Amino acid sequence: MAHYRFNRHQLFTQEDTSEVLAIIKDVDTIAIFNDSYMEGPIGELTNMLYGLFDGYLYDNILTTAAGIIDLPMDLIRRIEAIVDKCTNDILTNGQSETVVF
């Protein structure tokens, strides 16, 4: 699993930050319902989503999400929208780092 760095403070709007939090909440709700909270692929996905706050984009975040049968397609599309935004920034501006306090 490789990762790419981006400056989340420069890239994300408040709406993007809220969307990532909402996605995490939705993934956690599905995990709890299926008794798989923070375990297996769903735990890996949750970790990758939290990594976005530190400016880490994992290269397998979408394949991990798509491989989880219980995730609805609209949730995967929401993850894809965030990943696309990060990827476009990295391709346009190169990798950078988020200052983490």
d(CA 22, CA 2): 25
pLDDT at 97: 81
Residue range 61-95, pLDDT digits in tens: 999 999 999 999 999 999 999 999 999 999 999 99
| pLDDT at site 78 | 98
pLDDT tens-place string over residues 15-46: 999 999 999 999 999 988 876 666 788 989 99
Maximum pairwise Cα distance, the chain: 41
pTM of the model: 0.91
Q: Please report, for residues 23, 26, 35, 37, the alpha-carbon distance to residue 29 in angstroms, rounded to integers and kept in the order given.
A: 10, 5, 10, 8
Q: Is the pLDDT of residue 96 over 70?
A: yes
